[in-house]
Amino acid sequence: MMFKNTTFIFAGSRRHVMNDIFSNAEKPFYRFSKVYNLKPLGKSETIGFLRHKFNSAIEEVEIDSDLFEHIYEVSNGHPYYVQYISHMIWNIAVESGKLELEDVEMAARKVLQSERSMYEMLWDSLSSNQKAVLKNIAYDTSPYELNMSAGSVKTALDKLVKMDIIQKGEKRYELVDPFLEMWMKGNS
């Protein structure tokens, strides 16, 4: 296969699958490329981008000055949710002619409602240990404080990482999906 001046981008949201493709010596793409994990969107860049897009396309809409920052905060900079909430907000703007912080809250509730069945199926698929560990992570409590062995906690953590439900942050494990965390807090 001969490609000149060609760059390939392999992208996917299942981190463990992507890492396995390029980091497993038994796979054909082992060390074929540099692995670059994307972080959440930058706050100032995201807010500036949203402000520019909304203001340039729907000039006649009155927009609360903190609206775009609130979209970022609610979504935790997660690209999927920034886009999802912004799309809903856009529709509200077109219909009502104004945007307020409450519109972001309403959009977030709609997102939670639309994702609910997926979260319920995920939750039902987890073991009791995985559920307990996940709850502790959602509430910013160490899963090692649970009344289970360290080995059971580690097994649950490893499985949740492999399922791309949690990831290792700088200081602790964190949920990958900020709306799963909101759903869990509203249903526990």
pTM above threshold 0.85: no
Which residue did the predictor score with more confidence, 166 or 170?
166
Same domain, 176 and 161: yes
| d(C-alpha 188, C-alpha 175), whole Å | 16
Query: Which pairs from 89-94 meet CB under 8 Å and 24+ separation?
Result: 90/54, 90/58, 93/54, 93/58, 93/61, 93/63, 94/58, 94/61
Same domain, 49 and 68: yes
**Number of structural domains, the chain?**
3
H or E, element range at 99: strand 98-99
Predicted local confidence at residue 13, as pLDDT: 64
- In terms of residue numbers, what domain contains 17? 1-38
Q: Are the CB atoms for 81 and 75 separated by under 8 Å?
A: yes
pLDDT tens per residue across span 59-102: 777 888 799 999 999 999 999 999 999 999 988 888 888 888 89
Question: Is residue 121 one of the residues assigned to a domain?
Answer: no
pLDDT tens per residue across span 98-119: 888 899 999 999 999 999 999 9
Q: What angle, rounded to 10 degrees, do the helices at 101-125 and 67-75 form?
A: 10
Question: Is residue 17 one of the residues assigned to a domain?
Answer: yes
Same domain, 14 and 57: no
* Average pLDDT over the chain, rounded to an integer: 88
